Amino acid sequence: MAIDGLGGNLNEHAGQGLVLSTTRTTTDEILSVLEKSTEGVGLRSTPSIAYLHLAASIGFGVAGQLLMKSAALNSAQSLQGLVSLATLLALGVYGLGVVNWIMALRSVNLGVAYSVSSLNYVGIFLGSYFLFDEAITAQRLIGVGLIFFGVLLIVFRARTAPESPR
Amino acid sequence: MTTADWLQLIAVVLLGTIAQLALKRALDGAGSQLNLVQSPWAWSWFVSYVISTILWLLVLRRVPLSQAFPILGLQFALVPIASRLFLREQMAIEQWLGVATIVAGVILVGRG
């Protein structure tokens, strides 16, 4: 399962907010892959609606992962056991999260979007604890904090890095 | 988490990264939707994505979601590394720091 919708390109949002980047790096371009797939389909949204998309992306994303966990737990121990209505529903809900994330990134400042997306971890931890009786240990909490901080370092740097020689 | 769990999760992350790189190539080269259907890059994206999803569901049968999900964050570390390896792009010191921080976090989450 890929982490989806690593989209967004601040250069396209000039005039809408803070422009951190003057050049595009390859990391930039890779991060904007999924965004391109909605171009020309009329999916661009206004900024205020974009925050609803951001909230929806987190809600659907967390729900999708919890449904996938549930589908996996309840499946028979074979490969074919994974093919079920529960799995299909989980993937559908997860897909809604991806679509909303891409639409949110078209207008929401990237730093804001990725910072808010830390709520994904909160939702996953709460769901894992209450629905699946998983232990939320100090190690897991500290580890998630480190991962989130590392992601922010990479995302912010990708927007400000000078063009490097190819 | 067992060694097999680790390997399977790393495979999920690697395939996810490959899928993203392939999708980028597919969309870059595509002039029309027909081109996209015929593009080997688009098919690479699709196949990697499907296998990665199946592997992810298999991992979830055994590994707690509160451990497996944060480990997917490794993919953020792989994008700049892949850019450096395959596209000869330089990595900034902040990106190295980010990669190291993510790896440390992933090890912590996986151990406990």
Interface pTM (ipTM) of the complex?
0.88
3-class DSSP assignment, residue A83:
coil
Q: Extract the tokens encoding B97.
A: 């720091």
Residue B26 pLDDT > 90, yes or no? Answer: no
**Which residues make Cβ contacts (< 8 Å) with residue A93, sequence separation at least 6?**
A60, A63, A64, A67
CB contact under 8 Å between A66 and B65, yes or no, is yes
CB contact under 8 Å between B89 and A166, yes or no, is yes
User: Can you tell me the distance from the alpha carbon of B45 to that of B16, in angstroms, rounded to the nearest whole number?
Assistant: 9
User: Can you tell me the distance from the alpha carbon of B2 to that of B4, in angstroms, rounded to the nearest whole number?
Assistant: 5
> pLDDT category, A55, cuts 50, 70, 90?
very high
What per-residue confidence (pLDDT) applies to A35?
Answer: 54
Mean pLDDT across the stretch B83-89? 77
What per-residue confidence (pLDDT) applies to A17?
Answer: 36
The residue in chain B having the minimum alpha-carbon distance to the alpha carbon of residue A71 is B57
What per-residue confidence (pLDDT) applies to A6?
Answer: 45
Residue from the list A2, A134, A140 with its beta carbon closest to the beta carbon of B20 = A2
CB contact under 8 Å between A157 and B101, yes or no, is no
Rounded to a whole number of angstroms, the distance from the CA of B43 to the nearest CA of chain A is 15
Mean pLDDT across the stretch A53-62? 96
Q: Extract the tokens encoding B86.
A: 């395959």
Rounded to a whole number of angstroms, the distance from the CA of A17 to the nearest CA of chain B is 23
What per-residue confidence (pLDDT) applies to A22?
Answer: 39
Q: Which residue, B73, B31, B60, B55, is CA-closest to A6? A: B73
Q: Which residue, B14, B80, B15, is CA-closest to A29? A: B80
The residue in chain B having the minimum alpha-carbon distance to the alpha carbon of residue A131 is B65
CB contact under 8 Å between B109 and A136, yes or no, is no
CB contact under 8 Å between A79 and B20, yes or no, is no
